Amino acid sequence: MPMPEMPQEIMDAVSADPGAFAAALGDGMEAFQGAMADGGDMGAAFEAMGDVMGPIMQDMGVSPEAFDAAGDAFGAAVGGGMHMGPPDMGGTEMGACIQDAVDLMLPDGMDMPAPIMDACMDMGQGFADAGCGCHDMASEMMPPPGEPGFPMPCDASGDCIVPAGDPAACPADACQPPPMDGACADMGGTMMPPEGGYEHAPMPADCGMPPPMDMGNLATVDHGTPVTDDPMFDGGGMDALGDALGGPPAGDPAPAPMDAADAAIGAAMDGAMDQGGAPAPTDDAAAPADDAGAGMADDDQGQPDPSAGMG
């Protein structure tokens, strides 16, 4: 399915200081491992991770809402690959899976800075060192089967039809392969589809893809502070990253008032639409430019690949 995209506030924080962001991931993983060592389950360990990372993220300009959304998106993106990966994946393989998932979450042509990718590899090893198997990690990280953002097809009863560790059972139009030049390709072996692709099982008549994760309800107003019109869905253990921050403020914050320029632009656009067209630019400088940073929904990464393997 199309990968959920990384929230812009996260990308801004990464661009501003990749090293600090990578250090925050490292601190969060130490908290995760400490919670597991103390006998906690993965849900409690993710909550401990959020307790540590949340304040750091806020200091870097990432709001609780964007942090929560990033946790949901990351969990759904990584969980699908881990679910279909071989059951004996070690830390290096899990790190490669995380790196490739993060790569697929970025707009086409954008690369994640090296310190972040190194931190993703360390995260995979950290999960393994804490005694977490990849399939258990997948179940904890993904939304429940059938819920928005669950990355695999489900039958009419809402149950996933893809057994863990069996990527060939995932219909070709419901998954995509890891990047051909990515970290899983460097691992080789069972981390990539066989030459020519899998002979995928067909999609049964009573199956369908759960609706994709809707990141459109994360609107940015007031210098980058996001507000949500609807509550985020229950995204499994990754929600604890946001929950540890206390969640969004009580009540729905009112939209920021428009200033005079916003009001004038809005009025001009409304008038043009009433006449059946869009307002023409006043000069060449006002003409719309190509959006070189288009999100995942506008590029070709979300298109199904008949040779798809682990999604």
The tens digit of pLDDT for each residue in 236-257 reads 445 545 444 434 334 444 444 4
Which of 154, 25, 165, 30 is CA-nearest to residue 98?
25
Residue 289 lies in a domain: no
Residue 14 lies in a domain: yes
Q: How many domains does the chain have?
A: 1
Residue 93 lies in a domain: yes
Residue 91 lies in a domain: yes
The tens digit of pLDDT for each residue in 97-124 reads 999 999 999 888 888 999 999 999 999 9
Residue 80 lies in a domain: yes
Mean pLDDT of the chain: 76
| 246 within 8 A of 83, measured Cβ to Cβ | no
Task: State the residue range of the domain holding 84.
Answer: 8-247
Residue 52 lies in a domain: yes
Residues 183-211: b if buried by 16+ CB within 10 A, e if exposed: bbeebeebbbbeeeebebeebeeebebbe
Alpha-helical runs (H) found in the chain:
8-16, 18-37, 42-59, 64-84, 91-105, 114-129, 134-141, 183-187, 239-243, 260-274
Residue 89 lies in a domain: yes
Residue 2 lies in a domain: no
Provide the whole-model pTM.
0.70
